[in-house]
Each structure stands twice: as structure tokens, then as C-alpha cells.
Amino acid sequence: MTAAVRVIQSEWTKIRSVASTVWTLSLAVVVTIALGMLISALSRSQFDRMPIQDRLSFDPTRVSFAGMTLGQLAVIVFGVLVVSNEYSTGMIRVSLAAVPRRGTFLFSKVAVAAALALVVGMATSFAAFFLGQAMLGPYRAHLGDPGVLRAVVGGGLYMTLIAVFSMGVAAMLRSPMLSLGILMPFFFLISTILGNVDATKKIGRFLPDQAGSRIMEVVPRIGDDRPYGPWGGLGIMVLWVIAALAGGYVLLKRRDAQ
């Protein structure tokens, strides 16, 4: 137990001493909040001109999280760099020599980074909600409305899970360029296409971001036939995260440090 605490302390020292940690998380906060405020202000100005169907399915809570689509990319970079920086600098050999139990090493690193991502994610989610609702004016939702608190807390959990999923993928691939080269287009482009094209929609809805982001919706979309609710979607995302971490752990155990 004492050894695990020491490993956690050393991982915390590593994370807070790297400039990329501050930059990536700061960028995630700024982009998520600023873009959410902008989209909320535009939605307010355009609301009276919206088609009646769009007004009926208008979800003010979800609108304030519109910036998370870009903000999550910065969180992905954070998750990847936390794990793969050690491989790119060669520090992994020193780290594994100091902590021979690789499971302790990996999960201590993930625990520290996940805790940091959770704090930042929750603060970002609540800030994006309150500032976005301020921009929406008379069309705003309130934190006490049914389902709103769940959506706001879910926004913070979603950002945390995105970071942990990225850490699992980076542990498998080890290269920061390869990890980002797969994750960035996947979350920014491929997942969106698969989730919106009729031929692949049934598969795309089970991808981690498509399923996990369901937790941030309060007003169901018209014609939404997804076979899971907000917490069910988040549960699917958790399964993806567990699979990524399991893959990273197995490969870390089997491969030489390099």
C-alpha cells in the first residue's frame, strides 16, 4: 500500500511538472466554454426563425455543451501525452526500473491523471452550463429542472472518460504521433460520420463518444431510437474505457520497455 502511494506521488510530480498538462487542459476549458457561449448566443438570436420541429426538440442544456466537441480533442491530447511522453523521451526504462510492478505503474498513472481530468472536467462542465444559459436568456434551463443536474455532472464524467480512454489507447500504441493520428480523426470525423449515415448508424451509436455524450442530453431528439438512455450510454462508454485499459495493461506486461 505504501509503495502504491509513493508511485502515485511520483506520478503526480511528473504530471504537474510537464508544461503540456497545463496547456492541454487549459485549452480544453477555454474552447469548451467559449464555443458553448457562442453557440448559445447564436441559438438565442435564431430561435424565433427555427422550424417548429427544431423548437420542440430544442435542448438548452445540450446547446451549452456544444464546445465539448472541440474541447474533447484537447483532453485526448492530454491523455495521450500523459502516457506516451515517457516512451518518446526514453523515461519509460527508468520508470519501469523504479516500479517493476507494471500494473501498479500504469494504474497509478491513470488514477492521478483521471483525478485531475475529473476536477477540470467538472469545473468546465458547470462553467459551460451556467455561462451558456446566461447567453440563452429567456430560453435557458435551470439546474433544478428535471435531468439538468444529471447532464451537467455527466459532462464532467464524459470528459474524464475520454481522457482515460486515450490513456489506454496510448498505453497500447506507445507512440504519441500514432495515438493522436488514430484518435483525433476518429473522434472528430469518423465517429460522427458513422453515427449519422443510415447504413452505419446502428454501429456508430455504440462508439464511445456517441454513446457517452447521451448523458448530456435532456430533451430527446425527435425520432431518436437509440436503445439506451443517458446512464446506459455512459455505461457503454465505460466498457470501452475498461477495454482500452485492459489492452494497455496486457501489452505493457508482455513487451519490453523501450
Against a cut of 0.85, is the pTM above it? yes
- Give the DSSP H/E element, type plus range, for residue 158: helix 148-173
CB 204 within 8 A of CB 212: no
Residue 48 is classified by DSSP as: G
pLDDT (tens place) for every residue of the chain, 258 residues total: 577 888 898 889 988 888 888 899 999 999 999 999 999 999 999 998 888 888 888 999 999 999 998 999 999 999 999 999 888 888 888 888 888 888 999 999 999 999 999 999 999 999 999 999 999 999 999 999 999 999 999 999 999 999 999 999 999 999 999 999 999 999 888 888 887 788 888 888 999 999 999 999 999 777 778 889 999 999 999 999 999 999 999 999 988 766
What is the pLDDT at residue 188? 84
Separation CA 244–CA 206 (nearest Å): 15
For residues 24-52, one letter each, b for 16 or more C-beta atoms within 10 angstroms of the residue's C-beta and e for the rest, the string is bbebbbebbbebbbebbbebbeebeeeee
